């Protein structure tokens, strides 16, 4: 009895040893199988990968252009210096607009670490192309009284013509900021413009002033002529202060009390970098919106990948049935189609990364900016495409693995 049991068990072991076991696929085999499905349908693969590429390119271009613009701003700030402080009137306790004393500029100049001081004063006048323009159509342009010391203090440069000096500031002469000249369509020195009910002669046009952008939309006249013709009262509206680099913080701390000893609480002191930080925050909000649109485009590309994989499963039922009949497991079928989806998404991600980088470089070169494409943006673009590819390919892969060999072969 025991001998028969041992013989039966020995025969069972021999039969079990003769059963076929599915071969394990190596990583190279998995990649080769996934690539086969892509090579047989090149046009469909191209169109699906293009949807992914557009989304990734949009994301990288938005981040790259924003980063390039910020790098250009930083470069200009480094060239111009960040030791410029701006003093301006704040609000009175009653909520009205305060005024800086006329002697504030002279008092600030006495502070030892201060190297340069210059001021502008609002005149209340506006500049027009000619006397026939309606007074209400100011174009948001204003007229400021200024002196010969203003341009060096703010790091400004002339695009053409000359700046105010001891001779021109006593006569009806005007220098236009870059935006003002563009809106008035006046660039040639010697052209006349209408200010405060009389003609002024244009003597110069400024380049954009990054550290004092309010000057871009202004018409600048000398203080003596502003008092004579434009009723300038002598109160400065903005005082620009250049201090020693190592003493900027200490100078900033005493400027309010120095400019207006009686009412220091009604004085505002800021740095150009503060305004640039606020502008950067606004641009960051816009960048977030554009990144959201790029994400939507990426999601649409993922839907296209999923659609391609579903159609691929339906078209390749015979192939799936044959592989199952030859011993392929459900896990191997799932791995094959998920790999195919990942390869398709990777192609789109790499193409989108290259396209986004080229767009950023082209735009930066056209604006004479440094080209900046953060590494994290490229990594995030490719990583997101792989995640989307895995999700998009999961359902078609599971569906393919559930096809029985007889059912798949019968449908061909």
Domain co-membership, 111 together with 198: yes
Is 150 within 8 Å of 144 (Cβ atoms)? no
Domain co-membership, 123 together with 254: yes
Q: Compute how many other C-beta atoms are within 10 angstroms of the C-beta atom of residue 120.
A: 24
- Choose between 303 and 233: higher pLDDT: 233
In a domain, 137, yes or no: yes
> Which pLDDT tens digit goes with each residue over 47-71?
878 878 888 888 888 888 877 877 7
pLDDT of residue 399: 79
- Domain-terminating residue out of 241, 271, 301: 271
Residue 4 has pLDDT above 70, yes or no: no
pLDDT of residue 404: 75
- Choose between 174 and 385: higher pLDDT: 174
pLDDT of residue 79: 65
Is 145 within 8 Å of 232 (Cβ atoms)? yes
Weakest mean pLDDT among 31-40, 59-68, 177-186, 205-214: 31-40
Measured at the CA of 250, the angle between CA 248 and CA 251, to 5 degrees, comes to: 65
- Which residue range(s) make up the domain with 88? 83-271
Residue 387 has pLDDT above 50, yes or no: yes
Domain co-membership, 58 together with 122: no
In whole angstroms, what separates CA 209 from the centre of its chain? 21
Rounded CA-CA distance 322/327 in Å is: 9
Residue 372 has pLDDT above 90, yes or no: no
Domain co-membership, 167 together with 143: yes
In a domain, 10, yes or no: no
CB-side neighbour CA atoms (13 Å) of 119: 24
* pTM metric for this prediction: 0.54
- Domain-terminating residue out of 215, 243, 271: 271
Percent of residues in the chain assigned helix, strand, coil, to nearest 5: 60, 15, 25
> Average pLDDT of 235-245?
92
Domain co-membership, 102 together with 164: yes
Q: Which residues contact 386 (CB under 8 A, 6 or more apart)?
A: 342, 345, 346, 349
pLDDT of residue 106: 93
Residue 348 has pLDDT above 60, yes or no: yes
User: What mean pLDDT is reported for the chain?
Assistant: 82
Given the DSSP bridges, would you call strands 127-128 and 198-206 parallel, antiparallel or unpaired? unpaired
pLDDT of residue 291: 64
> Which pLDDT tens digit goes with each residue over 117-145?
999 999 989 999 998 888 888 888 999 99
pLDDT of residue 97: 83
Domain co-membership, 331 together with 406: yes
In a domain, 14, yes or no: no
Domain co-membership, 307 together with 359: yes
> Average pLDDT of 287-302?
67
- Choose between 296 and 237: higher pLDDT: 237
> Average pLDDT of 189-214?
93
> Average pLDDT of 94-100?
84
pLDDT of residue 304: 72
3-state secondary structure of 313: helix
Residue 272 has pLDDT above 70, yes or no: no
pLDDT of residue 170: 87
């Amino acid at each position: 009895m025991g001998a028969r049991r041992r013989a039966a068990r020995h025969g069972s072991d021999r039969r079990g040893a003769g059963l076929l076991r599915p071969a394990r696929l190596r990583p190279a085999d998995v990649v080769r199988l996934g690539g086969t499905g892509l090579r047989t349908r090149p046009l469909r693969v191209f169109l699906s990968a293009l949807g992914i590429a557009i989304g990734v390119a949009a994301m990288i271009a938005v981040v790259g252009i924003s980063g390039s613009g910020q790098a250009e701003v930083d470069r200009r700030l480094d060239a111009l210096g960040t030791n410029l402080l701006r003093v301006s009137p704040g609000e009175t306790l009653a909520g009205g607009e305060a005024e800086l004393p006329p002697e504030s500029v002279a008092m600030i100049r006495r502070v030892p670490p201060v190297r340069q001081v210059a001021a502008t004063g609002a005149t209340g006048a506006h500049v027009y192309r000619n006397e026939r323009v309606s007074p209400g159509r100011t174009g948001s342009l204003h007229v400021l009284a200024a002196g010969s010391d203003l341009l060096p203090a703010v790091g400004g440069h002339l695009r053409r013509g000359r700046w105010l000096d001891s001779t021109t500031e006593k006569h009806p002469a005007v220098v236009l900021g870059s935006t003002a000249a563009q809106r008035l369509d006046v660039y040639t020195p010697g052209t006349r413009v209408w200010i405060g009910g009389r003609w002024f002669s244009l003597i110069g046009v400024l380049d954009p002033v990054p550290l004092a952008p309010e000057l871009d939309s202004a018409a600048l006249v000398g203080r003596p002529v502003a008092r004579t013709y434009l009723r300038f009262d002598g109160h400065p509206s903005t005082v620009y202060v250049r201090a020693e680099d190592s003493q900027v913080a200490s100078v900033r701390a005493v400027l309010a009390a120095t400019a207006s000893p009686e009412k220091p609480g009604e004085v505002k002191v800021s740095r150009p970098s503060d305004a640039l930080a606020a502008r950067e925050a606004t641009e960051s909000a816009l960048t977030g919106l554009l990144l959201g649109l790029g994400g939507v485009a990426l999601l649409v590309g993922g839907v296209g990948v999923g659609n391609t994989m579903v159609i691929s499963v339906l078209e390749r039922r015979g192939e799936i049935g044959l592989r199952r009949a030859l011993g392929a497991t459900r896990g191997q079928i799932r791995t094959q189609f998920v790999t195919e989806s990942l390869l398709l998404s990777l192609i789109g991600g790499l193409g989108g990364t290259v396209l986004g980088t080229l767009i950023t470089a082209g735009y930066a070169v056209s604006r004479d900016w440094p080209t900046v494409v953060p590494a994290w943006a490229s990594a995030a673009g490719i990583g997101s495409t792989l995640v989307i590819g895995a999700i998009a390919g999961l359902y078609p892969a599971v569906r393919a693995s559930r096809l029985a060999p007889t059912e798949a072969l019968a449908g061909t």
